[in-house]
Structure 1
């Protein structure tokens, strides 16, 4: 009888902690991905020992960069003091690598004035992404800011004369200049600049808790710093400003300063285009 009572007591204890010892995730555990999670309110979350900001409702976001390590540790300390360590397995991705030879040296070495201006632009963008906004908009189901042919993908890279260039950290959607770009989720505009050296018309939207969207090469901007925007709201127009070879939207996703793949938050473009076609018939 004593053994039975002890067993029942253990079951009751497990049942009491069941609501705490759980976490749900949205997203894939792979390189370049943003994953959103929900835990019991009041739970403390750390990723590889670093604190993760959690909303009062128990929602949080974590990211895994382009070359993220295969093993990561998520630690959850529940309100009752119970601690759980989840060993996350991060899947690797194959990235498109193009090799280009015969590039003239004068092209390989940018003008010092251009470099200085580009560095100033980059600092401005880092400061915009360094803000912290307490909004749970990052938990919304994101939509594509524009639909069309994908002409560039996250993680791709060119090797010029044997020297690797910077990877591409966004998804490019090719559409004509003037095509309207909408907000993929609610947020606050933290940067709205009509002319940056590399990115031309540039806009950053903060969706809360470190998650932000960046739009590059815009030809016209409708909103300014500090404005609150809603999902689906028109924000700008596509262009070929900055160092672009043709009109397109370069959409980038960040978790604080970590560069992630926007595609990890939205349905496949082929699925969205098929739905648009069906709706128009």
Structure 2
């Protein structure tokens, strides 16, 4: 199935906006987003207020008071969001919808990308993991996420949904924390929202050409398997700007873009930020 941007909006981002039945009637934050496992909520409170999720201080609202919180694939269904600024405090209880995550099998992957054994390769993988961890630790003081996201490809087909249980070459693996979008090699990848490039590598073992973009407060998107990387670390990019080209490098059986998102070590579904 081939989709353009409009079809992706109606097909992937299927969860509705924050439903009245999923939150307290009195919402001090005017929350918007996708209250589902793998989803997120965007709200507004006092400028620079400290934001707590389930009692843990995780982020600080922007200078204009905007903040985002995210919920992992297997997050509990009940949460409490609190904003605190000096002696002032606001809270809300939020109930998430249960996520639906099918199983997905992939065969024909090179064995070295499923169960690598070579010591030199394992050392390279560890080095690359450290680079990725450092890039994921970025905490840009910005709120670019508040404007929502566009699709990173003009035309594509969904080949694997976010959160699916992976079976690689017949072996169960961890869930797939990306949305796979099939497209021709060389198809342009554009930034779905403004942000700071925190990683830009052309040849990582699992990911091939790989880019990370921090959209503010640790909300980071990743773009995998690229044939060409068109940006560099430290560069600020804007919605619609060319960042790379679709490829099939790394752990891939054909040309596609694996689009991922994290918020402070929580894996999120990036497609759910479309239309927000």
The interval holding the TM-score normalised by the smaller chain is 0.7 to 0.9
Contact 2:27 2:92 in 1 (8 A): no
Helix, strand or coil at the partner of 1:114: helix
Helix, strand or coil at the partner of 1:249: strand
The match for 1:131 is 138
Identify the range of structure 1 (154-163 vs 123-132) with the bigger mean alpha-carbon deviation: 154-163
Helix, strand or coil at the partner of 2:200: strand
Cα 1:223/1:42, change in 2 over 3 Å: closer
Deviation (angstroms), 1:141 = 2.0
Give the Cα separation in 2 of the matches to 1:129 and 1:206. Answer: 8
Contact 2:191 2:237 in 1 (8 A): yes
Cα 1:108/1:257, change in 2 over 3 Å: closer
Give the Cα separation in 2 of the matches to 1:220 and 1:99. Answer: 27
Cα 1:77/1:96, change in 2 over 3 Å: same
Give the Cα separation in 1 of the matches to 2:266 and 2:245. Answer: 26
Helix, strand or coil at the partner of 1:165: strand
Give the Cα separation in 1 of the matches to 2:233 and 2:168. Answer: 37
Taking CA–CA contacts closer than 8 Å with sequence separation of 6 or more, which of the two structures ends up with the larger relative contact order?
2
Contact 1:44 1:76 in 2 (8 A): yes
Deviation (angstroms), 1:256 = 2.3
Give the alignment of 1:1-281 within 5 angstroms: 22-51=28-57, 52-77=59-84, 81=88, 83-98=89-104, 109-111=115-117, 112-146=119-153, 147-159=155-167, 164-267=172-275
Deviation (angstroms), 1:247 = 0.2
Deviation (angstroms), 1:211 = 0.8
Give the Cα separation in 1 of the matches to 2:139 and 2:41. Answer: 18
Give the Cα separation in 1 of the matches to 2:212 and 2:114. Answer: 29
Helix, strand or coil at the partner of 2:162: coil
Cα 1:98/1:226, change in 2 over 3 Å: closer
Give the Cα separation in 2 of the matches to 1:245 and 1:231. Answer: 29
Name the larger-Rg structure: 1
Structure 1 regions of 5+ residues with no counterpart? 1-19, 269-281
Cα 1:255/1:245, change in 2 over 3 Å: same
